[in-house]
């Protein structure tokens, strides 16, 4: 770990200023990922801007939406009555991530900003275009069992590790950020990006922008949603494949559907074509199987992750069955 300066920001503006004034400054919230990365010399910010004192922990109902402060803790959101009642999918996804201890430290904003857990990204003795652009992708021809099957590039096949973000992208959330030029709103689906030629960039935030909150519009999915995560052990492991499924069922017919996958891409992977295939159809296993097939179109496997092409659709079907109450 290198030596760094530490500053405690008392306002969002001060935090943004600190970022603007130092190209190597990083925000620290819960520190559950950044500190690990610093210990391993994967990231070496020369300044840490601590935003724990900012008043951004509130979860509140506004007109037609719920707003969650960027500093709300993962465990706080997961256990929040309003969230459990209106967006149980988000609560489930949060509880599927990390461990109780980490959820008690990790913030909502930090969860969005966490970096891939690709082995090659973490080991400075191995090549990684994300950590060191131009050094090559270690995973491409290496151990890629955990890696992406959608939206990969020749530079990077890493996946985004979050569970929370899979639920948020399914729930049409919007992220509020502030920066030197003022505030702006980013649809959740556009927050994270695919690796393309710049795998070092995880998302579309500007260097000196700060996440203030995330908003989830009211919806009709609370009765029929499910987050299913398949992993190598029962808890405290990253997803092989995860699926956030939300349905609005009237009678036996699906009126609306939301579907997203984790563990398969460099960003939370929304499945809009599959959603379209669900709408207007009866909520049956047959319908779900057809949607799952559509969802997997364009998937491309590498040496060790071909199983995701089979596991993926199975988990979509199982998540939808659970959402529809068929299990």
Among 52-60, 165-173, 227-235, 262-270, which window interacts with another protein (CB under 8 A)? Answer: 227-235
Tokens of 91: 């609560």
Task: Give the per-residue contact string, 281-320, with another protein (x = CB under 8 A; - = no).
Answer: --------------------------x--xx--xx-xx--
- DSSP H or E run through 309: helix 307-324
Single residue of 125, 182, 185, 251 touching another protein by CB under 8 A: 125
Q: Looking at beta carbons only, is 73 or 98 nearer to another protein?
A: 98
When the beta carbons of 46 and 99 are compared against another protein, the nearer one is: 99
Helix or strand or coil: residue 209? coil
How far apart CA 286 and CA 317 sit, in angstroms, is: 9
Stretch that binds another protein, among 48-56, 86-94, 209-217, 226-234 (CB under 8 A): 226-234
State how far the Cα of 256 lies from the Cα of 26, in Å rounded to an integer: 40
Q: Which of 11, 154, 187, 236 binds another protein (CB under 8 A)?
A: 236
Least distance (Å) from another protein to the CB of residue 287? 16
Q: Is residue 240 involved in binding another protein (CB under 8 A)?
A: yes
Decide if residue 119 touches another protein (CB under 8 A). Answer: yes
Environment class of residue 2 by beta-carbon count within 10 Å: exposed (0-12), middle (13-18) or buried (19+)? exposed
For residue 112, CA distances in Å to 33, 94, 162, 247, 275 come to: 11, 12, 7, 24, 24
As measured in angstroms, the least distance from the Cβ of 14 to another protein is 28
Among 168, 324, 165, CA closest to 248: 324
Taking CB under 8 A as the criterion, which residues in 128-187 touch another protein?
Answer: 138, 141-143, 145
Residues 45-74, one symbol each (x = binds another protein by CB under 8 A, - = not), give ------------------------------
Burial class (CB in 10 A: 0-12, 13-18, 19+), 81: exposed
Q: How far is the CB of 11 from another protein (least distance, A)?
A: 31
Buried-exposed string 294-318: b where 16+ CB fall within 10 A, e elsewhere: bbbeebeebeebeebeebbbebbbb
Task: List residues binding another protein (CB under 8 A).
Answer: 1-3, 41, 99, 117, 119-120, 123, 125-126, 138, 141-143, 145, 228, 230-238, 240, 307, 310-311, 314-315, 317-318, 327
């Amino acid at each position: 770990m290198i030596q760094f300066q530490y500053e405690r920001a008392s306002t969002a503006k001060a935090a943004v200023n600190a970022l603007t004034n130092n190209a190597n400054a990083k925000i620290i919230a819960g520190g559950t990922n950044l500190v690990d990365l610093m210990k391993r010399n994967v990231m070496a910010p020369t300044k840490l801007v601590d935003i724990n004192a900012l008043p951004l922990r509130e979860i509140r109902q506004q007109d037609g939406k719920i707003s969650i402060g960027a500093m709300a803790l993962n465990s706080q959101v997961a256990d929040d009555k309003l969230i459990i009642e209106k967006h149980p999918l988000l609560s489930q996804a949060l509880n599927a991530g990390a461990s109780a201890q980490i959820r008690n430290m990790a913030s909502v904003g930090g969860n969005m900003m966490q970096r891939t857990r690709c082995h090659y990204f973490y080991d400075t003795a191995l090549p990684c275009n994300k950590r060191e652009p131009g050094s090559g992708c270690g995973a491409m021809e290496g151990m890629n069992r955990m890696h992406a099957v959608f939206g990969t590039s020749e530079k990077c096949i890493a996946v985004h590790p979050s569970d929370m973000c899979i639920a948020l992208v399914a729930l049409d959330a919007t992220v509020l950020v502030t920066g030197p030029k003022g505030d702006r709103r980013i649809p959740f689906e556009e927050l994270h990006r695919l690796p393309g030629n710049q795998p070092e960039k995880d998302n579309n935030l500007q260097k000196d922008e700060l996440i203030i909150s995330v908003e989830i519009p009211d919806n009709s999915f609370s009765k029929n949603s499910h987050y299913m995560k398949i992993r190598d052990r029962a808890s405290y492991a990253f997803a092989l494949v995860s699926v956030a499924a939300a349905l609005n069922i009237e009678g036996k017919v699906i009126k609306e559907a939301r579907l997203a996958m984790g563990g398969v891409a460099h960003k939370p992977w929304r499945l809009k074509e599959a959603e379209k295939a669900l709408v207007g159809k009866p909520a049956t296993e047959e319908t779900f199987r057809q949607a799952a097939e559509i969802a997997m179109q364009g998937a491309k496997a590498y040496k060790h992750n071909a199983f995701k092409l089979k596991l993926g659709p199975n988990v979509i079907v199982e998540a939808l069955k659970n959402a529809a109450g068929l299990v």
